[in-house]
Amino acid sequence: MNLATVKSLLKETITEWQKDKVPILAAALAYYMVFSLAPLLMIVIAVAGSIVGEAVAQKEVIEQLETLMGEQGASVIANAIQSQFQPSSSIITTIIGVVTLLFAATTIFAQLKESLNIIWHVEVRPGQGIWEFIRSRILSVIMVLIVGLLLLMSLGISSFLAGMSDWLDKVVSIPSLLRSLIDNGVSFILITILFGQIYRILPDVKIAWSDVAVGSGITAILFIIGRTLISFYLGRATVASAYGAASSFVVLLLWIFYSCQIFLLGAELTKIWSRRYGSQIRPSSNAVMTKNYRP
C-alpha cells in the first residue's frame, strides 16, 4: 500500500465520519458511558474477583483507569465503585440492585450497537420488537463477560511481566523505554481483541474476521496514541479548573467523549477498508441495509 492509497483511505474515512455525524454519536455514547461505566466495572470486578479475589481485581481496575485517564478522572469512577460495594440490608434490595446494575452496565453496549449500525448503514427489520431488545441485552451481557475475561488476561500478563522484570533486574538493568514498549504492546493486544469483539458481535452485520482484525488493530493504535495526547492535553489545559468542584467529572466526561470519537473513527475506517479491500459488510438475517448504504 503506497502513500497515495493511504491518503485516499484516510480522506474517505474522514468524509464518512462527517457524513454520519460521528461527533453527535460520540456525544450520545459519552452520555450513556457516564452512567454505565461504574456499574459495568463493578460487574467486571465481580467476574474477575471470583477467580483472583475482589480486592485484587478492584485494585487492577483502578490502576488501569488511572493509566488511561489520570488520577483526577479515575477518582470519580473509583469513588462510585467503592460506594456501591456495600452490603445490602435485605434480599429484595440485593435482587433489585443486581437487576438495576446489570441493566445499567449493558446500556452502553446497546448504544454502541446502535451507533455501529448507523455507521455501517444497517437497521433492524421492522417487527422485531421485544425479541430484538432481549437479543441486544444478551449480546451486551456477553460483552461484559468478555471485558471481565480481558481483565483476567491483563492481570495474568501483568503478574508475569512483573515477575520477569524483578528477575531481570537482578541480572541486567531494563531501560524505561523498553518497559514502556512492552506495556504499550500488551495494551495494543488487549485493546485490539476488545475492539474486534465489539465490531464483530454487537452490530447487526456479517463481517469477515480479516476485516475486523485490520480495523480493530488500526483503531487500537489510534486509541493508544489518542489516550496519550488526551492525557497530555487534560494535564495542561485549564478547562477542568474552570468548573471548580465538578472538575474531576468534567475531565472524565472529556476523556470519554474523545475516546468515543477515536473508537467510532475506527469503525468508519473498518467500513471503508472492508468496502475497498475486504469482503464487504453485509446485514445479518434480522437486519437490512439502509438507504444511505453505498457499496
Residue with cell 469513588: 79
- The residue written with cell numbers 453496549 in the block is 109
pLDDT in tens, 32-60: 888 887 777 787 787 777 787 878 888 87
Place of cell 497515495: 4
Alpha carbon dihedral 23, 25, 28, 34, in 10-degree steps, equals: -80
Strand-pair partners of 123:
288
Q: What is the pLDDT of residue 24?
A: 92
Better-scored residue on pLDDT, 238 or 185 = 185
**Which residue's entry shows cell 451481557?**
141
**Residue 240: is its pLDDT beyond 60?**
no
Across-strand partners of 288?
A: 123
Q: How many domains does the chain have?
A: 1
Q: Is residue 230 part of a domain?
A: yes
- Check if the beta carbon of residue 76 is closer than 8 Å to that of residue 248: yes
Averaged pLDDT for residues 51-77? 76
> Is position 99 within any domain?
yes
**Per-residue confidence (pLDDT) for residue 51, from 0 to 100:** 80
DSSP 173: P
Give residue 94's domain range: 3-160+189-289
- For 202-227, write each residue's pLDDT tens digit: 888 888 888 888 888 988 888 888 77
Query: Is 177 domain-assigned?
Result: no
Among 83-92, 93-102, 107-116, 128-137, the range scoring the smallest mean pLDDT is: 83-92
Residue 283 lies in a domain: yes
Residue 103 has pLDDT above 80, yes or no: no
Q: Is 181 domain-assigned? A: no
Query: In whole angstroms, what is the distance from residue 218 CA to residue 222 CA?
Result: 6
271 occurs within a structural domain: yes
Provide, rounded to the nearest whole percent, the portion of the chain with pLDDT above 90.
5
With respect to residue 183, please indicate whether it lies within any of the assigned structural domains.
Answer: no
Phi, psi of 99 (to 5 degrees): -65, -45
